[in-house]
Amino acid sequence: MNTDLHFNIGDRYSIALLVFFITYFLFELSTLLLHLIGPKNLLHGLALSWGAVMVNGVRERLEIDCCMSYADWHLGGWLSSLLMFSLSTWYQRFEIQQRMALWYLINLFVSAFGNILAWAIVKPNGAHGIKGWRWIFIIEGAATIGIAIVGYFTVISFPDTMLPSGRRQGFTTHELEVVLDRIERDRSDSQPDKLTWAKIASRG
């Protein structure tokens, strides 16, 4: 990979990392679209499109920079949208903290085996004329697409939108009312208020 993408020339590797973190921060603003588009469409749309980019594979250095930028959009959207906003519509603050801790614990566990998985994936080096490191992108991208498709049919909406829409998605009216009541008692924000520039400025 280092030879094919010429990361050994100048600061090319550092530039790829720089692109990643700058756009990661900017794309966290995609959370603002979550309530409008819905968690099912936004979150799994991000996962599906990211998987498609991965499967296409990376062949040139410019492509890895573009993929890193694209990854930021998805990671920023998933981390801030799924873990913070979506969970906050269902759970009280202490319960969210517990789930966030579990998320990072799982991340650490998975990261510990990441190199072993990559070592196994690069084994078909040269198969179908594809370098081993590119198989990492292709196989993990295909897995991401599969998970996104399954997840699309299992992710539920927000309790404050399920009640007025009449789409209970397996919940009873009483259960949804209990969820909203718990959040109202915990934070007094069970119903989303309208986002305005004045509110954004006041938080600056």
pLDDT tens-digit series, residues 6-37: 666 667 667 766 766 666 666 666 666 777 77
Domain assignment present for residue 80? The answer is yes
Domain assignment present for residue 3? The answer is no
Task: Give the number of other Cβ atoms within 10 Å of residue 160's Cβ.
Answer: 18
Domain assignment present for residue 1? The answer is no
Q: What is the reported pLDDT for 50?
A: 77
Residues 134 and 182 in one domain: no
pTM of the prediction?
A: 0.70
Domain assignment present for residue 5? The answer is no
Decide if pLDDT at 185 tops 80.
yes
Decide if pLDDT at 128 tops 80.
no
- Confidence band for 181, pLDDT divided at 50, 70 and 90: very high
Enter the tokens of residue 103.
Answer: 């998320």
Mean predicted confidence (pLDDT) in 165-172: 82
Mean predicted confidence (pLDDT) in 79-105: 82
Domain assignment present for residue 100? The answer is yes
Domain range holding 190?
159-204
Residues 49 and 76 in one domain: yes
Residues 98 and 139 in one domain: yes
Of 138, 155, 172, which residue constitutes the final position of a domain? Answer: 155
Enter the tokens of residue 58.
Answer: 């990376």
Q: What distances in angstroms separate CA 121 from CA 42, 96, 133, 178, one per listed residue? A: 29, 35, 8, 47
- Confidence band for 82, pLDDT divided at 50, 70 and 90: low
Residues 149 and 53 in one domain: yes
